[in-house]
Amino acid sequence: MASPQQQQIMTRESVTRPAETAASKTPGAACKLTARNIDFFYGSFQALHSISLDVPSHRITAFIGPSGCGKSTFLRTMNRMNEALRNTRVEGELRLDGQDILSMDVTTVRRRVGMVFQKSNPFPKSIFDNVAYGLRVNGISRKSVVEEAVERSLQHAALWTEVKDKLHKPASALSGGQQQRLCIARALAVEPEVLLLDEPCSALDPIATRRIEELLFELKEMTTIVIVTHNMQQAARIADLTGFFLLGKLMEIDDTKKIFQNPGKKETEDYVTGRFG
Amino acid sequence: MKISARRRIVNAVMLSLSGICTLLVISVLFFILGYLLVHGVKSLDFDFFTKLPKPSGETGGGMANAIVGSGKVLLLATLIGVPIGFLAGIFLAEFSGKTFAFTIRYVVDLLNGVPSIVIGIVAYALVVRPMRHFSALAGGVALGIMMIPIAVRTTEEFLRSVPNSMREGAMALGATRAQTIFTVVVPAAMSGLISGMMLNLARVAGETAPLLFTALGNMFWSKGWLEPIATLPVMIYNYAIAPEEDLHQQAWAAGFVLLMLVLAINVTARMVINRGHASSRR
């Protein structure tokens, strides 16, 4: 028999705990990032409706869904990128290792939760300066430290051998796939705890896409990855966990295998089997 | 049949008319250049660039002091007008909301439309009166105020042309707004900014009215920044209304030098912007 106090604690936990999610079922994966009842508004338009989910540590979580379903909006809420847009509002609770993201210093959030965008956006600087940028704006300027971090990041992004002899060439000289890997290296340089990727392969050919997918697979050793993708095969290939968004709602999130083979909702099944979208 | 013939004629007439006007536009510049050269060539010698003006009654001499003077006044104008306009332009492009930006832009355009002589009066009241004498500084303030509107709009325009993905990329790495602007956005817009500011400088280099009662003029070298100072446009004005034929020729020569200076700044500005485009395309 539990004492009344214990019972109280248990009830409170059952309130803060979400309805059973895949994260809690994934063995050995601590929860890195949690969202509870996230609503998001562009002006008076509500783009997200009460999104709750757990992002497990050192796993790849993919968000799929048709265009305009809110998956990118939600991704950009996780590192508060949407704040730069005027007339937007977010409600709910977002925690990184239990710390409240929405009340944290915004530059700290973005250093800890990195982001790679749909279209590669290298700065008009050299390859080296691109990767070093995040370190420098965060006050790390010791030459040896920066050089070491740049090399390590480029290696992690599988770009080092291709660029090591032209680090001081402009980043714009690289190919599209290389530029996207450079952006990944740039994000990795500040050692983010979570890496958000917003359709990182949508502008790339299949070979460059495959390289990035392989890369993400290796990167989950060192960080937690959340990826938005239009490409369901991509989610099926790389993600441990897949969430399906529709009309601003998270329809379901579960083990990728289950989402694609035995989804819990009819809408998900319709989408992943190509009946719409 | 008849209608189509009429249309052909109208077409031919309009085409030739616009062609002729285009030729006219181009020839105006060459006409001015040639006219200045023909009239000023006699005085356009080595002395013109190295000697001081001769006292009235004597022939010869040069405008070395006015050439240096114009340089000094324009340097002051740049130091005053560019930073103010640049920072205001940053605010306009990066921070202000829609309605506020509209208001600022409108006010800046109004300032751009203020007649230069009025700005001269303002500089007279602000600098000359309190200091009790004409000076290079007063001239620089007048021209600097004239540079502000274009500096604001140039900065705004070129910063806005930097894609938003650059700002997002920097902020996603933990950069603050200010770091983003000064380490990514401004460098990305740099070639445009430099050339815009140079064109702005070229625009005020020929201004005369605001200098008449601020920099005043000087037949000798002007020491420092707080004495009356000779400038090319004012020198042209003074010499052109003087009775001596020799001075008229010197005025023509000065006009030619001033024009070449402005053209040189213009061409350099174009080269800077072209090089910027080439490097961003690489």
- Mean pLDDT is highest, among A66-70, A206-210, A239-243, for A239-243
Q: B148 pLDDT band (50/70/90 cuts)? A: very high
Segment B233-255, tens digit of pLDDT: 999 999 999 988 888 989 999 99
Taking the CA of residue B87 and the nearest CA in chain A, the distance in Å comes to 20
Distance (Å, whole) CA A43 – CA A221:
39
Q: What is the pLDDT of residue A199?
A: 92
Q: Higher pLDDT residue, B161 or A30?
A: B161
Amino acid identity of B16?
A: S
Residue of A106, A133, A138 best to disrupt the B interface, most CBs of B under 10 A = A133
pLDDT band for position A20 (cuts 50, 70, 90): very low
Task: State yes or no: pLDDT of B49 exceeds 70.
Answer: yes
Nearest to A40 by CA among A95, A78, A10: A78
Q: A-chain residues within 8 Å CB-CB of B173?
A: 110-111, 114, 133-134, 137-138, 186-187, 190
How much is the pLDDT for A238? 94
Distances (CA, A) of B197 to B71, B94, B147: 15, 19, 9
* The pLDDT of residue B279: 53
Contact assessment for residue B56 and residue B244, using Cβ atoms and an 8 Å cutoff: yes
Taking residues B182-200, what's their average pLDDT?
94
Using alpha carbons, list the distances in angstroms from residue A111 to A84, A251, B159, B259, B270: 16, 30, 25, 53, 40
What is d(CA B125, CA B145) in angstroms, rounded to the nearest whole number?
A: 13
Beta strands in A29-77 (DSSP E): 31-42, 45-56, 60-64
Summarised one tens digit per residue, pLDDT across range B160-179 is 999 999 999 999 999 999 99
- Cα–Cα dist A25/A57, whole Å: 13
The single-letter DSSP state of residue A65 is -
Q: Residue A240, SS3?
A: coil
- Alpha-carbon span A22 to A258, nearest angstrom: 10
pTM (two decimals): 0.84
Average pLDDT over residues A217-245: 93
Write down the pLDDT at residue B56: 75
Contact assignment for A190 to B171 by CB distance below 8 Å: no
Contact call for B173 and A137, based on CB within 8 A: yes
> Does residue A80 have a pLDDT over 90?
yes
User: For residue A175, what pLDDT is reported?
Assistant: 92
Whole-number Å distance between alpha carbons of B215 and B226? 9
Predicted pLDDT at A23: 44
Mean pLDDT of A24-42: 80
Task: Indicate if the pLDDT at residue A11 is higher than 70.
Answer: no
Average pLDDT for B91-120 = 93
Q: Are strands A249-255 and A31-42 parallel, antiparallel or unpaired?
A: unpaired
Class of domain A29-272: alpha beta
Asked if B168 and A121 come within 8 Å (Cβ–Cβ), the reply is yes
Average pLDDT over residues A228-251: 93
Average pLDDT, chain B: 91
User: Is the model's pLDDT at B9 over the cut of 50?
Assistant: yes
Q: List the single range of B12-21, B44-53, B189-198 with lowest mean pLDDT.
A: B44-53
Q: What does the pLDDT read at residue A101? A: 94
Burial (CB count within 10 angstroms: exposed 0-12, middle 13-18, buried 19+), residue A131: buried
- DSSP single-letter state for residue A171: G
Q: Do A111 and B187 touch (CB under 8 A)?
A: no
A141 in B contact zone (CB under 8 Å): no
Q: Give the nearest partner residue to B172 out of A81, A125, A138, using CB atoms.
A: A81
Query: What is the number of CB-based contacts under 8 A between chain A and chain B?
Result: 76
CB A190 within 8 Å of CB B174: yes
* Three-state SS at A34: strand
Chain A hits for B280, CB-CB cut-off 8 Å, are 124, 172
Domain-wise residue ranges, chain A: 29-272
How confident is residue B277, by pLDDT bands cut at 50, 70 and 90?
low
CA distance B215 to B60: 24
A115 reaches B (C-beta below 8 A): yes
Q: pLDDT at position A208, please?
A: 85
The reported pLDDT for the residue numbered A9 is 42
B189/chain A closest Cα distance in angstroms = 10
| Residue environment code for A100-110, b if the CB has 16+ CB neighbours within 10 A, otherwise e | ebbebebbebb
Burial (Cβ within 10 Å: 0-12, 13-18, ≥19) of residue A11: exposed
Query: Which 8-state DSSP code applies to residue B176?
Result: -
Nearest CA in chain B to A186: B173
Can you tell me whether residue A62 is helix, strand or coil?
Answer: strand
Ramachandran quadrant class, B55 (left: phi over 0; alpha: psi -120 to 50; beta: rest): beta
Instruction: Tell me the ipTM for this assembly.
Output: 0.84
Residues B15 and B13: their CA atoms lie apart, in Å, by 5
C-alpha distances out from residue A167 to A128, A130, A222, B145, B190, Å = 5, 10, 24, 44, 22
Q: What are B's interface residues with A at a Cβ cutoff of 8 A?
A: 97, 163, 165-176, 179, 183-184, 187-188, 279-282
Please tell me the predicted confidence (pLDDT) of residue A29: 64
Would you say residue A21 has pLDDT above 60?
A: no
Question: Whole-angstrom Cα distance, residue A153 to residue A185?
Answer: 5
Residue A10's pLDDT is what?
42
Task: Provide the pairing of β-strand A45-56 with A31-42.
Answer: antiparallel
Give the C-alpha separation, A37 to A16, whole Å.
11
Please write the tens of the pLDDT for every residue from B199-233.
999 999 999 999 999 999 888 898 889 999 999 99
Token reading at B148: 């502000």
With a pLDDT cut of 90, the percent of chain A lying above it is: 75
Kindly tell me if the per-residue pLDDT of A8 is higher than 70: no
Q: Give me the pLDDT at residue A22, please.
A: 45
Mean pLDDT calculated for residue range A74-84: 92
User: Which of A27-41, A226-240, B32-46 has the highest average model confidence (pLDDT)?
Assistant: A226-240
Distance, in Å, from the CA atom of B157 to the CA atom of B93, rounded to the nearest integer, reads 8
Model confidence at A19: pLDDT above 50:
no
Rg of chain B taking only CA atoms, in angstroms? 23
Q: Give A170's strand partners.
A: A126
Relative to beta strand A88-96, strand A31-42 is antiparallel
Helix, strand or coil, per DSSP, at residue A258 = helix
CA distance B17 to A135: 62
